[in-house]
Amino acid sequence: MATFSERVIGAAKLNVDTYEDVEADTGATGQAAVVVVLSSLAAGIGSVGLGATGAGGIIAGTLAALLSWVIWAFLTYLIGTRLVPEPQTHADFGQLMRTLGFAQSPGIMRLFGGIPGIGPLVLAVVSVWMLVAMVIAVRQALDYTSTWRAVGVCLIGWALIVIPAFVLFSLGSGPSETGALGP
């Protein structure tokens, strides 16, 4: 069994064996949560240089990231095991939580997102890197033979999260809040 730091590095290197190791280790859920927290803290600290809020924003962002991780894992579990499983698909919610938690390992590099000049590039590269890690995590946890099926599961889950959030955000920032049509 690999150490925590070996798992974080292996997940960031997109090592399939690392994701299989984490998937099988029921005791690694706490480690996955630590990765999510570290990645979230790194994003919060890295965004300070981009004009983000201070400690309160970092704490709120970290709590939101933990909640998002649980929701994302649950949605991925439902989509991957009920909506588009392959014949050999066998997974439980914990397996998705662990693999998707470790898929956030590259996000620790977001710590450097506030560096003037290169910060936005760092954030863009890390975002793509994390997306690839999530696809690998989903493919391994759901025992898919098709990477494209894993991409599809991620896209469906993304749409189920982003579209309602966008609608709610749009409704919340409508004309009545600007005072154009309201008091």
Is residue 182 one of the residues assigned to a domain?
no
Is residue 178 one of the residues assigned to a domain?
no
Give the tens place of pLDDT for each residue, 8-30. 999 999 999 999 999 999 999 99
Query: How long a stretch of residues is the chain?
Result: 183
Query: Of 6-20, 32-46, 50-64, 167-181, which has the strongest mean pLDDT?
Result: 6-20
Is residue 76 one of the residues assigned to a domain?
yes
Is residue 128 one of the residues assigned to a domain?
yes
| Range(s) of the domain holding residue 116 | 4-171
Task: Give the DSSP letter of residue 116.
Answer: T
Q: Which residue's entry shows tokens 């991780």?
A: 69
Tell me the whole-structure pTM to 2 decimals. 0.85
Is residue 17 one of the residues assigned to a domain?
yes
pLDDT recorded at residue 63: 80
Alpha helices in the chain (DSSP H): 4-12, 16-24, 29-48, 55-78, 93-102, 119-141, 147-172, 175-178
Name the token pair of 88.
């050999």
Is residue 180 one of the residues assigned to a domain?
no
pLDDT recorded at residue 59: 78
Give the tens place of pLDDT for each residue, 69-123. 889 899 999 999 999 999 999 999 999 999 999 999 999 998 998 888 998 899 8
Looking at the 3D structure of the chain, how many domains does it have?
1
